[in-house]
Amino acid sequence: MAAPPTIADMFDDMNWSVNFTRQEIECIAGYMSVQTYEPGEVIFCEGDRENYMAFIAQGQVDILKENRDCTECVVVTLSRRTHFGEMAFVDDEPRSASAAARDKVTLLVLTLENFECILANQPCLGIKMLRGIASLLSQRLRSTTGQLVYFRT
């Protein structure tokens, strides 16, 4: 019988990890924890002050935002190998949206506190991670800008 995957193995399977060596992946994985959620379970709510980012090892996560009628709408559904929560992780502001498990979800969670430990102990690795986060935020902003232009015309 095969051994269950380690956190490093699960993180190595993420889209975000392609720019990291196996040694760097194992280092980052040492600062992560695993959390599981059942279908429909809330991961965090808009306005929460938690500051961590999460990588989806299994399942799908709905990102939800309240509209003018105070009804939650699904903004995007994220799948395995992607991540979310990086905005509050970077700017230490309240969550700008909610997240809920669409189905059974396994997350790899990196807290800001643990990321700061990486920065202190492995500054080059921490900077490499920050560049990855900045790149993702830039991609998502470009996508949102494109969608905004599409809907305005």
Q: Do 64 and 140 form a contact (C-beta atoms < 8 A)? A: no
Strands 33-37 and 83-84: unpaired
Residue-averaged pLDDT of the chain: 90
pLDDT at 3: 58
Alpha carbon distance 56, 17 (integer Å): 12
The region that residue 59 occupies, defined by phi over 0 for left and psi between -120 and 50 for alpha, beta otherwise, is left
Alpha carbon distance 142, 135 (integer Å): 11
From 82, 99, 84, 105, select the one nearest 48 (Cα to Cα). 99
Name the strands in the sheet holding 52-58, side by side, starting at the edge strand that comes first in the sequence. 33-37, 105-111, 52-58, 83-84
Q: Does 37 or 132 have the greater pLDDT score? A: 37
Domains and CATH numbers, the chain: 7-152 (2.60.120.10)
- Whether pLDDT at 148 is above 80: no
- Whether pLDDT at 69 is above 60: yes
Q: Do 46 and 87 form a contact (C-beta atoms < 8 A)? A: no
Identity of residue 92: D
Res. 152 pLDDT band, cuts 50 70 90: confident
pLDDT at 71: 87
- Whether pLDDT at 4 is above 70: no
Q: What is the pTM of this model?
A: 0.88
pLDDT at 135: 83
* pLDDT tens per residue across span 11-27: 999 888 889 999 999 99
